[in-house]
Structure 1
Amino acid sequence: MHPIPLVATTRGYPDTGKVIENVHAGSIAVVDVRGRLLYAGGDPHYPTFTRSALKPFQALPFILSDGPARFGLSRDELALLCASHSGEDKHLEGVQSILNKIGLDPGHLECGCATPLFYEFTGEKPPQDRSWTPLHHNCSGKHSGFLAWCRLHGAATRGYVEPSHPLQGAIRSTLAEAVGMPAEQMPTGIDGCSAPNYAMPLSKLAHLYARLAQGARDPQLGGAMGQLCDAMTARPDLVSGTARTDLAWMTAGGGDWVAKIGADAVQAIGIRSAGLGIAIKIADGNPRALHPAVYGVLEQLGLLNEERRALLEPYRQPPIRNARGTLAGDIRTLFTLAPAPDSGP
C-alpha cells in the first residue's frame, strides 16, 4: 500500500470556480484499544518518524520510576513534559519550576535555542532586542523531564541526548515494550531538539494513543498512562499554546480527546469514549494539509457534534489568501476512510 491523495489546495476566482493546484498525499490509521485496525487511508502501517507525538511516551521511564512524586512535580508540570509549548510566560515559568525542583538551570538543557512558537502561530513579530535561551525552545519541557530522570537515577546530565546515554536506553526499551516491537525494528533518527526519535508503523502510533486516552485503565501501563493523560487533557494550553491545533482538538474533546502533533505533519489523537486511536501522516511533511485532514477524519468517524464543528470550523476548509488579504483559494480534503478488515501489520 502507498499514501493516497488526502488534501488539495485550490486557486481561482469566485465567478469561475476553484481549480485544484496542489495535492498532498498521506496515510491514516484508526485503531481500537487492542490495536485492531478499523479504518484506513493510504498505508495505515506507513513507517513514520513519530517526532513530537512521541513526547508522552518519552516521559514514561521517569513516570514509571515515581519521579513526579520524588521531586514533587505538579500535574501542570507533567503536562509540560509532554509539550511542544509556545514559549509563553506560563510555559517558561513551568519549565523553570521543574528545573528548580531538580536543582538545575536552563544551561543544562541540550535542546538548543529557538524563537518561541508563539510568534509563528499568532502572527506577532518577535522583539528585535530579545535573545533566546534553551528555555524558550518548544521542547524544553520534555528536556527538563529528561534531566529529572538523570537526577533521579544519578546519571550524568551532560550528553543525555546521546543514544548511548542510559536515559535514552531506558526510553528506547520502554517504548519497544509498550508498542510490542523489537527495539532494533524501530529506526532511530535525530529529532529537531537533538534527542533520539523513533519510527514505527502509523498503526502502532495510533494504538499508543488509543491506550493513552484510556489512562489508568491501560492494562500494561495504567498508572503512568493515567498521569500523562490526565495532565495533558487538563492543561492542553500547556501542551501547546495560543492559536495551536492541539489546544483546539483537546478543548473540543472536553477531556475525552488527547492529542499531540509532531513536526513534518504527524498527528495522533486518542478518543477515550470511543476507544479509538488515530494517527495521520502527510507524506510530504506539509503542515497546512494536516489540519483539514484531522478535521476530515473526526467528521467521518462521527465524532463532531454541532458544538465541536463550530469550535473546529477554522480547520475544516481553511482559506488561502494573498498578501492583500484577497481570497485566492482554499485547502480541502479528498479522501474517504475505508473500513479495514485486518488487525495489524
Structure 2
Amino acid sequence: MSNAPELMVEIHRGPLAESAHTGHAVICDDSGQIVQAWGDPGKVILPRSSAKMIQALPLVASGAAQAFGLKTEQLALACASHQGAPLHVDAVNAWLAELGMSDDDLRCGPEVSRDKALKLQMIREGKCPCQAHNNCSGKHAGFLTFNKHLGGGAEYCAPDHPVQREVRELFETVSGMESPGFGIDGCSAPNFATTMEGMARAMAWYANAHTRPDTLSKAAAQLVEAMIAFPEHVAGQGRACTHLMRAAKEPVAIKTGAEGYFVAILPERGMGLALKITDGATRAADCAVAALLVQLGVLDEADPEVQRFLCPPIHNRAGIEVGRIATAPGFP
C-alpha cells in the first residue's frame, strides 16, 4: 500500500484520457480497523461538510433535540448541505421561529440559493439571499438549538465557545484520535482536522451505533436514521448524496463535503467509508464514491441513478456526446 494518492478518476474525450484525478480512500469495519485503503490512510485532512453528523452529535446527545421537540426531518437538516430550495429554506425558517429566533441569529452568512428555480425567482423579484439560503443553515439551526439549551453566548461559531468545544470533544471521541487543529469553514464554524483513517473509523462508529446502548451511540443512531429517512433534506435534487441514498439497495447514509470529500455510513455492514479527491473536484468525488459503493454491493452499477455519477457522459454545446467521466483502470 503506497502513501501516494491513487489514480481514481479519468476524464475522457474521444480516445484520450485528457484529465485525471487522484485521491485517498479508507474503509473501516465494526472494530475500527482498516479493511481496504487506497493512497495514504494517515493523510491529515479537513472533512468539511462530510462531518456534519458529528457536528450535530452534541445536539442530540445533550438532550437538546428532545427538549425542543425536534422532528426527524430537522435532525436530517442538521446534517445537511442543502440546496437552499424552498423545502430547505422554509424548514429552517420554521425551526428558527420555534426557537423564538430569526435569520439574524444565524452566523453562517447569506448565500445565493443553489436551487435554480428559486434563484431566478429571487432575481426577478429583486430579493436578496438570506442566511437561511446558506447550504449550512440547517446545521446552524442545530447549533442555535444546542446553544439555547446550554445558555451560551450569541457567537456560537467561535472555536472557544461551549458549542464548538463540545463538538471538538465528540469529534475526537468518534474518530479515536486527537485533532491536530482546525480550519474555519465556509459557514464560519471550525472544521476539525483528522486523518483519512480517523474519519473512516468515525463513520464505522456511526454505522455500529444502533448496536450499542450508551447515550452517545443512541444519539448517533438517531442522526443516521434521520439522514437515511430524509435524503432530500440532506442535499437535494441533482445531488449525489440524495440520489445515491435513494438508489442504494440497503440503508446507507452518504454525505459530501467541500474540496472533494465524501463519507458513507453502512449500518447493515457495520462499515464506514471516507474518500478525498486531492484536487478537490466534485465530479471526481461523485464518481469515486459511487464506484466504491458499487464495489461493496451497496449500489447497482446498471441503475441510471448510479450511472449519472459513476459514468456520466460529457456533451459539447451542440449536444453531441464527446467524452465521459469514468473510474481509472484498476480502481477500485
AA aligned opposite 2:169: S
Decide which of 182, 199, 208 is 2:202's aligned counterpart. Answer: 208
Decide which of 256, 260, 267 is 2:262's aligned counterpart. Answer: 267
**Runs (5+) with no aligned partner, structure 1:** 13-17, 339-345
Change (3 A) 1:107 1:208: same
AA aligned opposite 1:144: A
Hey, what's the Cα distance between the residues in 2 that align with 1:107 and 1:171? 23
Residue pairs, 1:153-302, within 5 angstroms: 153-157=150-154, 159-182=155-178, 185-218=179-212, 221-253=216-248, 256-302=251-297
Residue pairs, 1:1-345, within 5 angstroms: 1-12=3-14, 18-119=15-116, 125=120, 127-128=122-123, 129-157=126-154, 159-182=155-178, 185-218=179-212, 221-253=216-248, 256-305=251-300, 309-334=303-328, 336=330
The normalised TM-score by structure 1 is: 0.89
Q: Identity of aligned pairs, percent?
A: 35
Post-superposition offset of 1:217: 1.7
Whether the 8 Å CA contact 1:41–1:337 is kept in 2: the answer is no
Post-superposition offset of 1:86: 0.9
Whether the 8 Å CA contact 1:162–1:168 is kept in 2: the answer is yes
Superposed CA deviations along residues 2-55 of structure 1, whole A, max 9, x for unmatched, are 11111111112xxxxx20111111011111121111111111332111100111
**Runs (5+) with no aligned partner, structure 2:** none
How many correspondences in the alignment?
A: 327
Superposed CA deviations along residues 244-283 of structure 1, whole A, max 9, x for unmatched, are 1111121122561011100111000011222221111000
44-53 or 251-260, which deviates more: 251-260
Whether the 8 Å CA contact 2:24–2:40 is kept in 1: the answer is yes
Whether the 8 Å CA contact 1:215–1:230 is kept in 2: the answer is no
SS at match of 1:117: coil
Post-superposition offset of 1:216: 2.4
Whether the 8 Å CA contact 2:8–2:331 is kept in 1: the answer is no
CA RMSD after TM alignment: 2.0
Post-superposition offset of 1:124: 7.7
SS at match of 1:6: strand
Match of 1:343 in 2: none
Change (3 A) 1:191 1:27: same
Hey, what's the Cα distance between the residues in 2 that align with 1:274 and 1:305? 17
Hey, what's the Cα distance between the residues in 1 that align with 2:288 and 2:64? 37
SS at match of 2:193: strand
Hey, what's the Cα distance between the residues in 2 that align with 1:173 and 1:254? 34
Superposed CA deviations along residues 191-235 of structure 1, whole A, max 9, x for unmatched, are 010100011111221222222233422466321012101111110
